[in-house]
């Protein structure tokens, strides 16, 4: 893809496992010793990179105490009903049945308002911890979920040959800025059954469904393995064993069976709330997490989308309650966290014949955190008049999503080289919206 025509007017675990199947090959003492840890850590696999030293010095990002959390709303959320342009007359003309009534909108600035199911986020807006970027998204015209998600997670719209994800490259760019900095095995963590496209790449990442399944179990076997490692005279075995157990014990220190969220942190039930709760747990356990990822599905509202209530409202309630609980749970540490949300594309301006919306173009992003200059909707609003629509049907994009993610990576992780993070984009610091304080 060619360089972006930047809008200068904008202001405003699963990590691969080498474990063998039982009985497939003869088990020698050496193989047993090296593979023993795999057998005592529950259902998760311990990847080879966890055998590296885990007690190294903190990275530059860790020294600053900054962490970046990325949330992907899979299925293409309807940004026009998420952050409603309720002063746009065309909005209600396009959506006679699913539009959010003006008297139900949670007003933000006299023009935009939150969907009423997003009440938990209003205090964060008022406290200026929450910012919104409207009319944002990928410049690629694809309306395919698969392609659009791939382009956003790779950070290279229109380029299918990209082998790694933008967040992995952001960590690589951090290494370029601080080549002597060391990292823990939990530097990059995803909550889920596999490493997401966003985190694929040279920097190793851990994916886990549940912290409870990732840790040395309190069993005689585990103690026996540890003792065997201690007594080994094989320097390679000894080092590998000690480091593996040290890595696992780092996570065990979080003790998920005893973890209790902070007072007032009421996570919603379901996978998304559980993912955010576990991210909070990992961050508060001081395991060296610098980047974390989670996703929430169910946004493809082709039918029966609803307005104040209904399918979309349920997703937004879970999403908002999750973010609000995470913020409360992090307490004083929330000041060093930046959370960014994204979705592959928006929905059509006009409702369809089945009470829903179809695949569109521009969308809305949320940025939450201590460094956020919130209480503001960023980006240039393109309008909803027929002549202002993208291809005569969709909200037009005025902010490339990489402007938002690039600023987050730059100011949180210290990723200075935007060409590494978003190759062939032409993105520079002057293209940032200045959502985050330096």
In a domain, 242, yes or no: yes
Within 10 Å of residue 96's Cβ, how many Cβ atoms?
9
Specify the pLDDT at position 245: 58
Looking at the fold, whether 305 and 386 belong to one and the same domain comes out as yes
For 323, which DSSP code?
H
Looking at the fold, whether 227 and 319 belong to one and the same domain comes out as no
Burial class (CB in 10 A: 0-12, 13-18, 19+), 279: buried
Residue 388's domain is classified under what CATH number? 3.40.720
Specify the pLDDT at position 363: 98
**pLDDT, mean of residues 91-117:** 98
Higher pLDDT among residues 229 and 197, named by residue: 197
How does strand 363-369 pair with strand 130-137?
Answer: antiparallel
Question: Residue 253: is its pLDDT beyond 50?
Answer: yes
Looking at the fold, whether 299 and 237 belong to one and the same domain comes out as no
In a domain, 9, yes or no: no
Q: Which residues, including other chains, have CB under 8 Å from residue 269's CB and lie 6 or more apart?
A: none
Highest-scoring range by mean pLDDT, 51-65, 174-188, 273-287, 295-309: 295-309
**pLDDT, mean of residues 395-412:** 98
Higher pLDDT among residues 181 and 167, named by residue: 167
**pLDDT, mean of residues 281-303:** 95
Q: How far is CA 69 from the centre of its chain?
A: 5
Which CA distances in Å does 222 have to 15, 39, 174, 212?
22, 9, 36, 16
- CA distance linking residue 60 with residue 119, whole number of Å: 36
Give the containing element (helix H, strand E) for 294.
strand 291-296
Looking at the fold, whether 44 and 122 belong to one and the same domain comes out as no
Looking at the fold, whether 143 and 49 belong to one and the same domain comes out as no
pLDDT tier, 6 (very low <50, low <70, confident <90, very high otherwise): low
Question: Residue 171: is its pLDDT beyond 80?
Answer: yes
- CA distance linking residue 280 with residue 211, whole number of Å: 12
- Residue that is last in its domain, among 200, 229, 255: 255
**pLDDT, mean of residues 136-155:** 98
Looking at the fold, whether 302 and 246 belong to one and the same domain comes out as no
- CA distance linking residue 5 with residue 411, whole number of Å: 23
pLDDT tier, 184 (very low <50, low <70, confident <90, very high otherwise): confident
311-330 and 271-284 helices cross at what angle (nearest 10)? 10
Contact of 408 with 67, CB cutoff 8 Å: no
Looking at the fold, whether 247 and 367 belong to one and the same domain comes out as no
For 394, which DSSP code?
B
- Domain residues for the domain of 44 are 28-53+218-255
Q: Tell me the average pLDDT of the chain.
A: 83
Picking from 76, 124, 136, 157, the residue whose alpha carbon sits closest to that of residue 321 is: 124
pLDDT tier, 258 (very low <50, low <70, confident <90, very high otherwise): confident
Burial class (CB in 10 A: 0-12, 13-18, 19+), 193: exposed
pLDDT tier, 163 (very low <50, low <70, confident <90, very high otherwise): very high
For 413, which DSSP code?
I
Specify the pLDDT at position 53: 36
Specify the pLDDT at position 210: 85
CA angle 198, 438, 164 (to 5 degrees): 15
Looking at the fold, whether 70 and 188 belong to one and the same domain comes out as yes
Looking at the fold, whether 193 and 333 belong to one and the same domain comes out as yes
In a domain, 223, yes or no: yes
Which CA distances in Å does 243 have to 55, 176, 216, 278?
9, 26, 13, 23
Question: Residue 246: is its pLDDT beyond 80?
Answer: no
In a domain, 359, yes or no: yes
In a domain, 94, yes or no: yes
**pLDDT, mean of residues 107-117:** 98
Overall domain count for the chain: 2
- How close are the terminal C-alpha atoms of the chain, in Å? 30
Looking at the fold, whether 248 and 377 belong to one and the same domain comes out as no
Of the listed ranges 18-22, 140-144, 150-154, 371-375, the one predicted with least confidence: 18-22
- Residue that is last in its domain, among 255, 284, 313: 255
pLDDT tier, 215 (very low <50, low <70, confident <90, very high otherwise): very low
In a domain, 14, yes or no: no
- CA distance linking residue 36 with residue 52, whole number of Å: 16
Looking at the fold, whether 325 and 379 belong to one and the same domain comes out as yes
Specify the pLDDT at position 248: 65
Looking at the fold, whether 232 and 336 belong to one and the same domain comes out as no
- CA distance linking residue 113 with residue 106, whole number of Å: 5
pLDDT tier, 190 (very low <50, low <70, confident <90, very high otherwise): very high
The residues facing 399 across adjacent strands are 136
Specify the pLDDT at position 18: 30
């Amino acid at each position: 893809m060619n360089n972006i025509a930047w809008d200068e007017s904008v202001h405003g675990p699963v990590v691969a496992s080498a474990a063998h199947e039982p009985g497939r090959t003869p088990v020698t003492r050496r193989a047993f010793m090296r593979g023993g840890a795999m057998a005592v850590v529950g259902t998760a696999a311990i990847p080879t990179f966890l055998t590296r030293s885990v007690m190294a010095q903190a990275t530059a990002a860790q020294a600053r105490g900054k962490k970046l959390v990325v949330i992907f709303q899979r299925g293409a959320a309807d940004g026009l009903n998420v952050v409603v342009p309720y002063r746009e007359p065309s909005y209600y003309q396009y959506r006679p049945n699913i539009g959010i009534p003006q008297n139900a909108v949670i007003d933000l600035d006299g023009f935009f308002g939150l969907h009423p199911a997003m009440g938990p986020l209003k205090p964060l807006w008022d406290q200026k911890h929450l910012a919104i970027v409207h009319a944002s998204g990928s410049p690629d015209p694809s309306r395919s979920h698969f392609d659009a998600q791939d382009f956003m997670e790779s950070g290279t719209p229109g380029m299918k040959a990209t082998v790694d994800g933008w967040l992995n490259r952001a960590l690589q760019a951090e290494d370029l800025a601080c080549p002597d900095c060391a990292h823990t095995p939990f530097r990059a963590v995803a909550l889920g059954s596999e490493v997401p496209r966003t985190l694929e790449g040279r920097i190793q990442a851990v994916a886990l469904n549940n912290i409870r399944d990732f840790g040395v179990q309190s069993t005689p076997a585990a103690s026996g393995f540890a003792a065997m490692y201690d007594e080994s005279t094989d320097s390679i075995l000894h080092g590998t064993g000690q480091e593996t157990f040290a890595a696992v014990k780092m996570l065990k220190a979080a003790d998920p069976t005893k973890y209790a969220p902070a007072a007032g942190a009421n996570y919603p039930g379901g996978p998304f709330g559980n993912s955010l709760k576990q991210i909070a747990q990992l961050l508060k356990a001081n395991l060296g997490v610098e980047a974390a990822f989670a996703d929430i599905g169910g946004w493809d509202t082709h039918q029966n989308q609803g307005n104040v209530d209904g399918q979309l409202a349920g997703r937004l309630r879970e999403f908002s309650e999750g973010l609000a609980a995470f913020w409360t749970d992090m307490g004083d540490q929330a000041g060093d966290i930046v959370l960014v949300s994204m979705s592959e594309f928006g929905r059509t301006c006009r409702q369809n014949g089945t009470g829903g919306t179809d695949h569109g173009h521009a969308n809305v992003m949320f940025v939450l955190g201590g460094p956020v200059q919130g209480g503001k909707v960023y980006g240039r609003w393109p309008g909803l008049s027929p002549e202002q629509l993208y291809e005569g049907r969709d909200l037009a994009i005025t902010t490339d999503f990489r402007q938002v993610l690039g600023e987050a990576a730059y100011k949180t992780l210290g990723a200075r080289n935007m060409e590494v993070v978003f190759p062939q984009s032409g993105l520079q610091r002057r293209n940032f919206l200045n959502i985050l304080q330096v």
